[in-house]
């Protein structure tokens, strides 16, 4: 099979950077392959993609050595608009790629730029929308702004597919999607694979998804390829400090049995293992809960029969009843549009309920000023840049304290403390808007923590982070919880929910469908799958094996490992 992409001794350093983003990359991709690229955030995944489609060196500037050839064309000698006929890219955030008012106009935009005849254009639009499961007759006149996150990402893919490039570049296209959106994109990739007409290079952090789809996996670290090969080979060999392998693979390695990378394979392998050791393992997780809220802990947020709608008689939240006690660590989960962020904003006092009652530390929220609530409750928004506006991190973090006219010595001490807690001491003089997403999230958290709130609400605190960054953030929140802070985090990452939350509140279509201890919600595998939330691989495996539900790799290993 012929090579459609060749990368030779490629090194690239961005202007102003102290070290290369890519370091001596050599790569060949055969026509029709799906190659997945993974690694830590900042390992060079996106940079490698941008060298393939000509954004580097034509748009993103820096020092480049080595060569990139696409179908024999030297990328340096062909501008991105010319390469776009051969190679199309779909970015992490579809909002950056969608420019038109309606679905049909969005897919037509690229075709108009390459002068496709009207009759052929219509056929291409229909074809591309049908592939991504946005049927032309149903979606052609839909306003782009009315689409869900998953639908927008599928539309972005359709707009590229319609150009009929032979090569598709997917840059972490599921990073900001809820579980339903991720599932939809997974189905689109399956469809594209069955068509067999495209070569796909896919930058992705979710190794379980990579294992399900990729022909070959490339692990990048510090701009270098450290491991390469079929998923089965790579995920057996990779160090867990470089990339987090699929949960089932990690468990098999820990148990020293045949490593597997797909869930359907795992069931059979672990059944055989259980036949050998079932009489030697503890068949219960009783008493394993790491932290339980005492029933007599004080109720600090009390919500009764709450309704809220942005439009009259059209409710986003319906009959919400929720009591939150001091010291809890709560995960608020649900699909996009289920009302999670709206509920957080109501608790914070940013929105007023249409009807019902909500008391914060015993006081009716309607009688409280925002500044009063902010002294008890801090909210870290989903997009941290919306909270950052000062010239330096230090000024951003101290902004609220300065407005309260606190003594300078106290301000300095508080800022010093939270910068240390959040691990961003060295960034105090940096421009917050120029930081990476993970660093921005830490600054956003620090600007809330500095107020010493008793309750911290975080909206998707790990969105777009690799697993290791996510664990750092969640471990920091766990430590704050141990010190007495009540933590409420909104997330789509059910693996993090299983590992950290002590209680889970499930929202669906504006209603609470479940509220209880974490292990209890994960026992309801079919329920979670029915509302497209899904469960971690370990939970799914133990459910299929008819075992008590393990929540983490550590629990599963301890449960199954014989001594």
Overall pTM surpassing 0.95 (yes/no): no
Collapse the DSSP code of 108 into the 3-class scheme (helix H, G, I; strand E, B; otherwise coil) and give the result: helix
Structure tokens given for 15: 């202007």
Do 529 and 417 share a domain, yes or no?
A: no
What mean pLDDT value characterizes the chain?
89
**Mean of the pLDDT values across residues 451-455?**
90
Higher pLDDT, 377 or 1: 377
Residue pLDDT, tens place only, 244-283: 999 999 999 999 888 899 988 899 999 998 888 876 666 5
pLDDT at 320: 97
**Tokens at 58, concatenated:** 């034509």
Asked whether residue 140 falls in the same domain as residue 269, the answer is no
| 292 part of a folded domain | no
Dmax of the chain from CA atoms?
A: 72
Kindly report the CATH number assigned to the domain that includes residue 124: 3.40.50.300
- The confidence score (pLDDT) of residue 473 equals 86
In what helix (H) or strand (E) does residue 237 lie, and over which residues does it extend?
helix 231-237
Give a yes or no: residue 303 inside a domain. Answer: yes
Is residue 5 a contact partner of residue 28, using CB atoms and an 8 Å limit?
yes
- Is position 287 within any domain? no
Provide the token pair at 271: 């059944």
**1: pLDDT confidence band, cut at 50, 70 and 90?**
low
- The runs of H, that is alpha helices, within 75-204 are 80-83, 103-113, 118-131, 136-139, 149-161, 179-195
For residue 240, what pLDDT is reported? 77
Establish how many alpha carbons lie within 13 A of residue 123's alpha carbon, considering only the half-sphere containing its beta carbon.
6
Which pLDDT score is estimated for 210?
93
How far is 302 from 347, CA to CA, in rounded Å?
10
294 is a domain residue:
no
Asked if 312 and 198 sit in the same domain, the reply is no
Residues 517, 553, single domain; the answer is no
Q: Let me know if residue 288 belongs to a domain.
A: no
- Confidence class for position 10, pLDDT limits 50, 70, 90: very high
Taking only the tens place, the pLDDT of each residue in 150-173 is 899 999 999 999 999 999 999 998
What is d(CA 194, CA 217) in angstroms, rounded to the nearest whole number? 19
The Cα-based distances of 16 to 61, 346, 426, 428 in angstroms read 10, 43, 18, 19
Please tell me the predicted confidence (pLDDT) of residue 291: 43
Residues 268 and 400 in one domain: no
Note whether 431 and 542 are same-domain residues. no
> 326 and 393, same structural domain?
yes
Cis peptide before 503 (omega within 30 of 0): no
| pLDDT at 521 > cutoff 80 | yes
- For the chain, the domain total comes to 3
Same domain, 489 and 537: no
pLDDT of residue 464: 73
Arithmetic mean of pLDDT, 417-440: 83
Which of 147-151, 212-216, 488-492, 541-545 is least confident? 147-151
Domain of 228, in residue numbers: 3-244
- Determine the pLDDT at residue 500: 97
- The upper half-sphere exposure of residue 384, i.e. CA atoms within 13 Å in the direction of its Cβ, equals 27
Q: Do the beta carbons of residue 300 and residue 325 sit within 8 Å?
A: yes
- Same domain (yes/no): 89, 148: yes
For 512, list phi and psi in degrees, rounded to 5.
-85, 115
**Residue range 447-458: mean pLDDT, rounded:** 90
- Same domain (yes/no): 229, 189: yes
Query: Which positions ≥6 away from 70 have C-beta within 8 Å?
Result: 4, 5, 52, 83, 86, 87, 167
pLDDT confidence band for 290 (50 / 70 / 90): very low
The reply to whether 533 falls in a domain is: yes
Contact 346/353 with Cβ under 8 angstroms? yes
| pLDDT band (50, 70, 90) for residue 286 | low
Kindly report the CA angle at 420 between 419 and 425, in degrees rounded to 5? 60
**Listed range (159-163, 186-190, 279-283, 404-408) with the worst mean pLDDT:** 279-283
Question: By 3-state DSSP, what share of the chain in percent is helix, strand and coil, each rounded to 5?
Answer: 45, 20, 35
266 shares a domain with 192: no
Instruction: For 322-376, write each residue's pLDDT tens digit.
Output: 999 999 999 999 988 899 999 999 999 999 999 999 999 999 998 888 888 888 9
| Category of 546 on φ-ψ map: left (φ > 0), alpha (ψ -120 to 50) or beta | left
Residue owning tokens 């009716």: 364
Same domain? 231 vs 310: no
Give Cβ neighbours of residue 389 (< 8 Å, ≥ 6 apart): 396
> What is the C-alpha to C-alpha distance for residues 550 and 431, in angstroms, rounded to an integer?
43
Rounded Cα gap, residues 208 and 187, in angstroms: 14
The pLDDT, as a whole number, for residue 305 is 97
Residue 278 is predicted with a pLDDT of 72
Residue with tokens 């509220």: 515
Instruction: Give a yes or no: residue 72 inside a domain.
Output: yes
In a domain, 290, yes or no: no
């Amino acid at each position: 099979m012929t090579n459609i992409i060749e990368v030779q001794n490629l090194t690239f350093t961005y202007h102003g950077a102290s070290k290369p983003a890519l370091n001596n990359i050599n790569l060949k991709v055969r026509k029709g392959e799906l190659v997945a690229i993974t690694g830590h955030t900042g390992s060079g995944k996106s940079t490698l993609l941008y060298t393939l489609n000509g954004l580097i060196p034509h748009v993103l500037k820096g020092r480049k050595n080595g060569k990139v050839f696409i179908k024999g064309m030297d990328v340096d000698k062909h501008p991105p608009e010319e390469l776009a006929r051969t190679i199309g890219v779909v970015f992490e955030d579809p909002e950056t790629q969608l420019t038109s008012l309606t679905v049909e106009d969005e897919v037509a935009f690229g075709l108009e730029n390459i002068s496709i005849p009207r009759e052929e254009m219509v056929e291409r639009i229909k074809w591309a929308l049908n592939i991504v499961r946005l049927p032309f007759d149903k979606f052609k006149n839909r306003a782009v702004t009315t689409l869900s996150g998953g639908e927008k990402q599928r539309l972005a893919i359709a707009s590229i597919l319609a150009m009929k490039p032979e090569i598709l570049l997917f840059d972490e296209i599921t990073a900001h999607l809820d579980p339903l959106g991720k599932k939809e994109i997974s189905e689109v990739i399956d469809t594209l694979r069955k068509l067999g007409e495209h070569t796909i290079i896919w930058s992705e952090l979710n190794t379980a998804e990579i294992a399900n789809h990729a022909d070959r996996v490339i692990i990048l670290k510090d701009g270098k390829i450290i491991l390469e090969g079929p998923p089965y080979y790579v995920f057996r060999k990779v160090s867990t400090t470089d990339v987090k392998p699929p949960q089932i693979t990690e468990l098999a390695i820990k148990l020293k049995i045949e490593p597997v990378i797909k869930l359907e394979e795992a069931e059979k392998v672990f059944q055989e293992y259980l036949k050998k050791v079932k009489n030697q393992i503890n068949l219960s997780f009783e008493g394993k809960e790491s932290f339980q809220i005492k029933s007599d802990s004080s109720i600090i947020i009390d919500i009764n029969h709450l309704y809220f709608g942005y439009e009259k008689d059209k409710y986003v939240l319906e009959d919400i009843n929720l009591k939150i006690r001091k010291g809890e660590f709560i995960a608020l989960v649900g699909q996009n549009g289920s009302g999670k962020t709206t509920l957080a904003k109501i608790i914070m006092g940013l929105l007023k309920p249409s009807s019902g009652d909500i008391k914060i530390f015993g006081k009716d929220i309607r009688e409280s000023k925002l500044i009063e609530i902010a002294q008890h409750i801090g909210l870290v928004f989903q997009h941290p840049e919306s909270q950052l506006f000062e010239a330096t991190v230090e000024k951003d973090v101290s902004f609220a304290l300065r407005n309260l006219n606190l003594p300078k010595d106290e301000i300095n001490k508080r800022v010093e403390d939270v910068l240390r807690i959040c691990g961003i001491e060295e960034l105090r003089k940096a421009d917050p808007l120029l930081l990476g997403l993970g660093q921005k999230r830490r600054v956003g958290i620090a600007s809330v923590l500095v107020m010493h709130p008793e309750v911290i609400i975080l909206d998707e605190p790990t969105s777009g982070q690799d697993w290791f960054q996510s664990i750092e953030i969640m471990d920091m929140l766990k430590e704050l919880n141990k010190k007495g802070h009540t933590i409420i985090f909104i997330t789509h990452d059910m693996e993090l929910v299983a590992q950290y939350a002590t209680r889970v509140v499930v929202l669906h279509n504006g209603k609470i469908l479940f509220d209880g201890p974490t292990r209890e919600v994960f026992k309801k595998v079919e329920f979670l799958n029915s509302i497209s939330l899904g469960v971690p691989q370990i939970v799914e495996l133990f459910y299929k094996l008819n075992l008590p539900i393990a929540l983490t790799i550590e629990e599963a290993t301890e449960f199954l490992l014989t001594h």
